[in-house]
């Protein structure tokens, strides 16, 4: 199969870019390794989004012509994961986007003035390829020797439900929203300690979306004040040996489980025949219009680090137009 543009990844970014190509009659196809918005399907049921979606303050919808809050049943400032998934499905269906589900891209090879994309459904080729595979593909662990190999350690992405930890001593590592949400969820059943690298930062004070925000902020503060959660602020774990953790302060403590809410890194599709250079965190280096160091290969969405806000929908949605227009101008 040959297309002018192949978009790899059918999450919010890939679908929004597809919408622009669709509207302008450009020949494209989205390849999605699972179902539409697969990364959101893997998140915890009931998760509440960090970013609001209401008329006037909409940080979550892909386009304001077709906003999330206009969906039947969505009338609260912060939508749930389920609201968002329904929105993604409706967005794709109503715009008639060309998405191939259950097709994973496995490699991208540079050929003469085009790309050959190896997939689980055979080889495809295109003039321009766009990686929209997201920034949450690979769990990121704190910088503690061999922590990811420890059988008592798990990543936030693997957490299912607090009842699995009832009565257990749990250490949550991390100082962001995920750490706060998991700590609160565990507080009623487990004995929880939260440890952070730096002093705690709250959205009400900094305005930064990745700082602890909303109801998590007030509940966390109260749980700490009541002594229900023990806080080791700016006292990170430095070594973990089985269940035993040594902190920067020199103190040691045993836990039954150690939960790392320390974020993710992008997962890149292997590239052959050219070099796609990346920054030290594994994000592709890009031009002002999202083109990587490999001409014709672009990135968009949360893996395109135009700036830090691009980790979020309201941060990346305008940049997707830059990617779109640059490709459209070159076709």
Ligand X SMILES: Cc1cc2nc3c(=O)[nH]c(=O)nc-3n(C[C@H](O)[C@H](O)[C@H](O)COP(=O)(O)OP(=O)(O)OC[C@H]3O[C@@H](n4cnc5c(N)ncnc54)[C@H](O)[C@@H]3O)c2cc1C
User: Using CB under 6 A as the criterion, which residues of the chain lie in contact with ligand X when the complex forms?
Assistant: 8-14, 31-34, 37-39, 43, 49-51, 60, 104-105, 132-134, 136-137, 178, 269, 301-303, 311-313
Q: How far is CA 5 from the centre of its chain?
A: 24
CB of 84: closest distance to ligand X in angstroms?
A: 8
Identity of the residue, 196 or 262, whose beta carbon is nearer to ligand X in the bound complex: 262
Q: Do the beta carbons of residue 46 and residue 80 sit within 8 Å?
A: yes
CB of 211: closest distance to ligand X in angstroms?
A: 13
CB of 31: closest distance to ligand X in angstroms?
A: 5
Identity of the residue, 70 or 137, whose beta carbon is nearer to ligand X in the bound complex: 137
CB of 310: closest distance to ligand X in angstroms?
A: 9
Identity of the residue, 100 or 274, whose beta carbon is nearer to ligand X in the bound complex: 100
CA–CA separation, 276 and 115 (whole Å)? 13
Copy the structure tokens of residue 112.
């003469």
CB of 201: closest distance to ligand X in angstroms?
A: 17
| Packing angle of the helix pair 12-23, 81-94 (nearest 10 deg) | 20
Identity of the residue, 258 or 269, whose beta carbon is nearer to ligand X in the bound complex: 269
Would you call 300 exposed, middle or buried from its count of C-beta atoms within 10 A (0-12, 13-18, 19+)?
A: buried
Identity of the residue, 102 or 249, whose beta carbon is nearer to ligand X in the bound complex: 102
CB of 247: closest distance to ligand X in angstroms?
A: 26
Q: Do the beta carbons of residue 209 and residue 50 sit within 8 Å?
A: yes
CB of 240: closest distance to ligand X in angstroms?
A: 23
Identity of the residue, 4 or 101, whose beta carbon is nearer to ligand X in the bound complex: 101
Identity of the residue, 30 or 144, whose beta carbon is nearer to ligand X in the bound complex: 30
Identity of the residue, 14 or 236, whose beta carbon is nearer to ligand X in the bound complex: 14
CB of 51: closest distance to ligand X in angstroms?
A: 4
């Amino acid at each position: 199969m040959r297309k002018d543009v192949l978009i790899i990844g059918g999450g919010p970014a890939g679908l929004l870019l597809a919408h622009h190509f669709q509207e302008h009659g450009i020949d494209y196809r989205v390849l999605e390794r699972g179902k539409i918005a697969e990364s959101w399907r893997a998140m915890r049921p009931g998760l509440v989004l960090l970013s609001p979606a209401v008329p006037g303050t909409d940080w979550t919808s892909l386009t304001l012509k077709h906003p999330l809050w206009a969906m039947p049943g969505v009338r609260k400032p912060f939508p749930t994961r389920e609201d968002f998934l329904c929105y993604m499905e409706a967005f794709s269906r109503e715009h008639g986007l060309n998405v191939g589900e259950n097709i994973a891209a496995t490699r991208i090879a540079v050929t003469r003035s085009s790309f050959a994309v190896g997939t689980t459904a055979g080889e495809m080729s295109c003039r321009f390829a766009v990686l929209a595979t997201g920034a949450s593909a690979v769990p990121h662990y704190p910088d503690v020797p061999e922590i990811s190999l420890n059988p008592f350690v798990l990543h936030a992405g693997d957490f299912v439900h607090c009842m699995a930890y009832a009565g257990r001593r749990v250490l949550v590592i991390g100082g962001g929203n995920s750490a706060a949400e998991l700590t609160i969820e565990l507080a009623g059943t487990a004995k929880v300690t939260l440890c952070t690298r730096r002093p705690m930062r709250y959205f009400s004070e900094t305005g930064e979306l990745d700082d602890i925000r909303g109801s998590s902020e007030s509940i966390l503060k109260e749980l700490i004040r009541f002594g229900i959660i023990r806080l080791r602020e700016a006292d990170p774990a430095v070594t973990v040996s089985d269940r035993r953790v040594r902190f920067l302060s020199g103190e040691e403590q045993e836990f039954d489980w150690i939960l790392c809410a320390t974020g993710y890194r992008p997962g890149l599709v292997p590239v052959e025949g050219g070099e796609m250079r990346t920054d030290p965190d594994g994000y592709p280096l890009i031009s002002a219009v999202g083109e990587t160091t490999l001409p014709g290969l672009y990135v968009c969405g949360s893996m395109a680090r135009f700036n830090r806000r691009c980790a979020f929908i309201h941060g990346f949605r305008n940049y997707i137009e830059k990617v779109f227009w640059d490709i459209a101008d070159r076709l």
